[in-house]
Structure 1
Amino acid sequence: MKRTKLFSIVVVALMAQAALAQPQTNVEVTKGPDQTTVKGMSKITATVVGIDKATRTVTLKTAAGKIVELEVTNDARNFDQLALGDMVTATYSEALTISLMKEKGQASHAERATEQRSAPGAKPGGMVGREVTVIADIVAVDHKAKTVTLKGPKGNTVDLKVEDPERLKRLHKGEQVEAVYTEAFAISVEPAAKK
């Protein structure tokens, strides 16, 4: 599947996510001596209450009673496997890990995309994601303002707030940090419960 088509599917799915009732959300922060990770996840579940095969439109109903219609592109595999009563789950997760590097290297930026589609004949579903890794130089540490200024490989700078004074003491101008950002959006469909 071409990347532009894939991301157009994700955009439609994200708009649907925003339109659905309150998602279940979870945020977790993990701190180590030289590393901090923040992870977040939102999950929404809805029931298929209508299918128009001619227009490839699916009508979903959330537990809160909100109704949403989605047009499913031809790129989505196994549309004909959908059935009334199926449960659709959309999950969006993201994480950011910032680590103080022990050895100095060159500032850099790398990005990797991932995608997965359901197998032919299975219920529709899939996942798209990306991972971005940036190595940045610490160009300033302001203990009074509790900020550290990072300079990336393209010369852009960003100021990060560091609330923990002990952490801030360990950061010095000339050192480097590695930031790894990951995000994924997945949709899965479970068959309707047997009566």
Structure 2
Amino acid sequence: MKGKTLLTAAAMLVATTATWAQPETRVDVTQSPEGATATGTAKLTATIAKIDAPTRTVWLKSGDGKTKDLVVGPEARNFEQLKVGDTVTIEYREALTMSLKKGSGPLAMHEREISERAAPGAKPGGTVGREVTVTADVVAFDTSARTVTLKGPKGRTVVLLVGDPARLNGIKKGDRVEAVYTEAVAVSVQPAAGR
């Protein structure tokens, strides 16, 4: 599946770049009466130091002067728009939304690809990711420990800490609940100043 390949490549890009430069990271948690969402973001910024067009290799230089070479695959549009001095921003985002709302129907897991490529003629960039929605059974809960144990469609169980104990009100063993997990990598390029 092409989207999974792109997401894997983008995640590897973030992972290898993270070892070369210190990413800016942030974690946000939002709560509503329906559920809670935790979002983590890692952001890296570098400058293009060198480009080898025949091999589609770009050397990125971090703020601390370290360089890293990356091969840009053919699925990335507008490679020819890249110029030495351009700023490249890579942002990796993960989010988990838990909704302890009662549901019905079978246990299920649905995956949806998320992708957006740069328009023809624009600077290279885009977003690739996935969204996974799981309907699971509550197999146990502990109000004093504020945990819920869920069992998904593949038989795996997971114990989740529930920040607000009021979210456990009305939830009992055998109820169906829903969780949504998303991950995405976004890459953008800005022209060098003065161009």
Question: TM-score by structure 1 length?
Answer: 0.89
Confirm or deny that 1:37 pairs with 2:37.
yes
1:65-99 Cα shifts (integer Å, max 9, x gaps): 22111112222221111111100000111111110
3-state SS, counterpart of residue 54 of structure 2: coil
1:66 aligned residue: 66
Could you tell me how far apart the structure 2 residues matched to 1:175 and 1:12 are? 38
Q: What is the CA–CA distance in structure 2 between the aligned matches of 1:50 and 1:22, rounded to whole Å?
A: 21
Distance 1:164 1:19, change over 3 A: same
In the other structure, the counterpart of 2:184 is: 184
Q: Secondary structure at the match of 1:104?
A: coil
Contact preservation (8 Å) 2:49, 2:61: yes
CA contact (8 A) 2:7 2:129 kept: no
SS of 2:194 mapped into structure 1: coil
Q: Per-residue deviation at 1:103?
A: 4.0
The answer to whether the 8 Å contact 2:91/2:187 transfers is yes
Structure 2 residue identity aligned to 1:125: G
Structure 1 window deviating more from structure 2 (12-21 vs 170-179): it is 12-21
Answer yes or no: is 1:175 the counterpart of 2:179: no
> Measured at CA, do residues 165 and 15 of structure 1 come closer, stay the same or move farther in structure 2, by a change above 3 Å?
closer
| Aligned partners of 1:9 and 1:73 also within 8 Å | no
Structure 1 segment 4-153 matched on structure 2, within 5 A: 5-7=5-7, 9-153=9-153
CA distance in 2, matches of 1:12, 1:163: 32
Deviation at 1:144? Answer: 4.8
Alpha-carbon contact 1:16-1:70 (below 8 Å) kept: no
Gap regions ≥5 residues in structure 2:
none
Offset of 1:149 from its aligned partner? 1.2
**Compared CA separation, residues 165 and 121, structure 1 to 2 (3 A):** closer
Distance in 2 (CA, whole Å) between partners of 1:18 and 1:147 is 33
Deviation at 1:115, TM superposition (A): 1.3
Which sits farther off after the overlay, 159-168 or 21-30?
Answer: 159-168
Distance in structure 2 (CA, Å) of the matches to 1:58 and 1:50: 6
Partners of 2:103 and 2:5 in 1: CA distance: 40
Question: How many angstroms apart in 1 are the aligned matches of 2:104 and 2:183?
Answer: 27
After TM superposition, the score normalised by the length of structure 2 is 0.89
Identical pairs, percent: 54
Question: Contact 1:90–1:186 (CA<8 Å) still a contact in 2?
Answer: yes
- Aligned partners of 1:85 and 1:160: how far apart in 2? 46
Alpha-carbon distance in structure 2 between the residues aligned to 1:101 and 1:172: 11
1:169 Cα shift?
A: 4.4
Code of the residue aligned with 1:188 in structure 2: it is: S
For this pair of structures, how many residues does the alignment match?
A: 195
Q: 1:74 to 1:27 in 2, by over 3 A?
A: same
Q: Specify the code of the residue in structure 2 equivalent to 1:187.
A: V
User: Deviation of residue 170 (structure 1)?
Assistant: 4.3
Q: Using a 3 Å threshold, how does the CA distance of structure 1 residues 144 and 11 change in structure 2: closer, same or farther?
A: closer
